[in-house]
Amino acid sequence: MPFPLARKEEIVAEVNAEVREAVSAATADYRGLTVAEMTSMRADARSSGVSLRVIRNTLARRAVEGTVHECMKETLSGPTLLALSNDDPGAAARLLKKYVDEFRSLEVTALSVDGELLEAGQLNRIASLPTLDEARARLMRTLLAPVDALARTLNEVPGNVVRALAAVRDARQSESTGSEP
């Protein structure tokens, strides 16, 4: 049953608002997935901060117009599952990669990160991007490495002095007792 025009406009406006907020987007052909598989994927998407939408291509094309993900417009064909990530550029790709490996019938058709259209073959590269927390941890390790090395070096100086003084003390005690160490 076709949607009334007002409902179509409402859907386009909703999806357009979501696409404008998204830092990355991915589309997939979901033909062959069961309802249970789609439900599992939707639950996982909610927990990972990814918005999943099954949307008609004509509506999706209108929804991406005027956004950074407009580059995906020409790739929209067939049954389309639209995955949008607002915070983490790799979140949508990680979700789809997990389910592409699990459900052979799911096929990624396009990826867009900050307006750059990427081929579906780039899925692994985008999915391997670190999360924000992982990137922060890596940055902190990099920034703290020189400080840690300096602290260890400075800590070794008093240790070396103490060992040298202990060796002098032992040498003087052995001289005073008249025995060789």
Q: What is the mean pLDDT of residues 82-105?
A: 86
What's the pLDDT tens digit per position in 17-31?
888 888 888 888 888
Can you name the CATH fold of 5-129? Alpha-Beta Plaits (3.30.70)
The structure tokens 């922060």 sit at 136
pLDDT at 127 (0 to 100): 81
Helix (H) or strand (E) holding 55: strand 50-55
Q: What is the mean pLDDT of residues 52-74?
A: 86
Burial of 70 (0-12, 13-18, 19+ CB in 10 A): middle
